[in-house]
Amino acid sequence: MSEDVSEEHAAAVREVEESQREFSRALGDLEGVVRSSVDPTKWIADRPLLWVLGGLVLGFWFGTKR
């Protein structure tokens, strides 16, 4: 009987360890998606002219305020 219990315990430990590995992989994937969606360099690279014009407008606006 103790052999059955130890086998069940070992199987449960393996299952928990596999679940932890899957969770870690999923968390890493989620982190990558979040980082890429929040990274402003992608937005700037997609529309550089818009960002340059926006910077010029803001610079002009701040420069003319006294």
Return the C-alpha torsion angle 19, 24, 29, 30, nearest 10. Answer: 100
Summarised one tens digit per residue, pLDDT across range 16-66 is 999 999 999 999 999 988 888 888 888 888 899 999 999 999 999 999 876
What's the predicted TM-score (pTM) here? 0.55
User: How far apart are the C-alpha atoms of 13 and 63, rounded to whole Å?
Assistant: 65
Domain assignments of the chain as residue spans, ordered by start: 2-64
Query: Mind giving me the DSSP string for 10-49?
Result: HHHHHHHHHHHHHHHHHHHHHHHHHHHHH-HHHHHHH-HH
Under DSSP, the state recorded for 65 is -
**62 close to 55: Cβ distance less than 8 angstroms:** no
